[in-house]
Structure 1
């Protein structure tokens, strides 16, 4: 498999790593993404504007600490790839961009989102690992994804991020 296809597959795995279903074990970032992020790199930069505090994490563990509380509180998170992944790959670095939609359901209701994600991957002795991440998210009108995400459920209460 060539590097572009491998990175495309990894980016797809990344999207669905965030998937949550009612009754899942508590979300554990390192258990879920330990083979995708570079947990040992001193130059990691990870950002997602869906984080209310809009923090930039400088370690993979730090990024996990941003997301674990929220994902543990979720009832479910359902995703679908809307566009991509689009990949360019060199010998030691690769970049991928992908757009996904998701319905994030909390006990008090659901939020539909569209996110464009860009990841930079570095080839390590253990394989390709994420060293840069930038996600831009738009909250969609309530019910936008009713027909897009099978099993995500209708009649959700929308909330703003």
Structure 2
């Protein structure tokens, strides 16, 4: 595979790393995403506006600390790629953009979202790793995604 194809595969697999099913082992960010994020780079900047506090993390570990409690508390989370990934790659850097739909089932109810995610990857000795992330999320009307997910 060329670099563009590798990043397309990584970004797609990254989306489905967020999937949760009832009965899964407790969510562990480093365990789930260790092959995706650069856990040692000082260049990391990660942001997701679905975080109510709108924090920018400067480490993958810090980003995981935002999302572990959230994903440990959900009953299930279902994702489907709606557009992309679209990738450009050259000289050890790559950028990818992808849009996904998700249904998050929590004890308090169901939230359907549409998110556009942009990732910047850099090549390390261990492979391509995320050093930048920006997610923009739109919360959808209840039931808008009915029928889009098998089993949800």
TM-score by length of structure 2 reads 0.99
CA distance in 2, matches of 1:149, 1:141: 16
Identify the residue that residue 38 of structure 2 maps to in structure 1. 38
SS at match of 1:32: helix
1:43 CA displacement: 1.2
What's the TM-score once normalised by structure 1's chain length?
A: 0.94
Alignment map for 1:26-105 (pairs within 5 Å): 26-105=26-105
Deviations 1:103-152 (A, max 9, x none): 00101110000000000000000000000000000000000111111211
Gaps of 5+ in 2: none
**Whole-angstrom distance in 2 between the partners of 1:28 and 1:147:** 29
- Give the aligned CA root-mean-square deviation in angstroms: 0.5
Following the alignment from structure 2 to structure 1, what is the Cα–Cα distance between the partners of residues 91 and 102? 33
Instruction: Supply the distance in 2 between the matched residues of 1:106 and 1:13 (Cα, whole angstroms).
Output: 23
Once residues 12 and 81 of structure 1 are traced to their aligned partners in structure 2, the CA distance between those partners, rounded to angstroms, is 8
Aligned position for 1:14: 14
Q: Secondary structure at the match of 1:4?
A: helix
The total of aligned residue pairs comes to 152
Query: Structure 1: any 5+ residue segments left out of the alignment?
Result: 153-161
Q: Which runs of 4+ in 1 moved over 4 A?
A: none
Matches within 5 A, 1:80-159: 80-152=80-152
